[in-house]
Chains A and B, each alone.
Chain A
Amino acid sequence: DTGVSQNPRHKITKRGQNVTFRCDPISEHNRLYWYRQTLGQGPEFLTYFQNEAQLEKSRLLSDRFSAERPKGSFSTLEIQRTEQGDSAMYLCASSLGQGFTEAFFGQGTRLTVV
């Protein structure tokens, strides 16, 4: 499968614990995005990388959230001290090019904080 891959697919954690998600984009794609989606809402932008540089972060992204893309390939999203409000689907997407092009999404990681 050469699409965007996300792991794990599901994560249940206790409030206060740290969690880390991984995204492997389509191999030649230079851009990588993280989104969060809750029931009945569209995906909300969290952060964006071009190669290894994190170029944009949403105001939604509190200090408890951090994302990395160390070698311009895969990316990780870490949430520290999880709260029940963090429960959501976390979607990763990638795209190719300099101008704006379509983004391809992974199947997401569904996080439940109990």
Chain B
Amino acid sequence: RKEVEQDPGPFNVPEGATVAFNCTYSNSASQSFFWYRQDCRKEPKLLMSVYSSGNEDGRFTAQLNRASQYISLLIRDSKLSDSATYLCVVNSNSGYSTLTFGKGTMLLVSP
């Protein structure tokens, strides 16, 4: 089983739609979780951290389910500018605070 798995998509949604991505991780001892956003041919940028209690930042909501070892990202009222690849990130098995990335889920928001 890969350390971090994501559906690669693409997810094609119209503006205003709500879309959800899931991510599963293999290491039950992982402690830190993030969603990064990566635009085409650009570097990844932090979108939000994922806390055990769940957290919300405007139109974005992240949830963590430790029992099932998955993380979710919900985007409400999608905008054209949300089109990007969303990378699920967890701290790795090594324990030295390295980040392990999923392959990413591509989102395409159309007018």
Contact = CB atoms under 8 A, between A and B. Distances in A.
Interface of A: 31, 33, 35, 40-45, 48, 50, 55-56, 91, 93, 95, 99-100, 102-108
A33 B103 contact: no
Contacts of A44: 101
A91 B43 CA distance: 8
B25 interface: no
B96 A102 contact: no
Contacts of B68: none
Contacts of B91: 100
**Looking at chain B's contact residues, is the secondary structure mostly helix, strand, loop, or mixed?**
loop
Nearest to B96: A56
B99 interface: yes
B81 interface: no
B31 A100 contact: yes
A102 B34 contact: yes
A100 B32 CA distance: 7
A108 B102 contact: no
B98 A42 contact: no
Contacts of A56: 94, 96, 98
A84 B57 CA distance: 42
B103 A40 contact: yes
Interface string B80-111: 00000001000110101111111110000000
B43 A42 contact: no
Contact of B99 (A40, A41, A45, A55): A45
B43 A106 contact: yes
A48 B103 contact: no
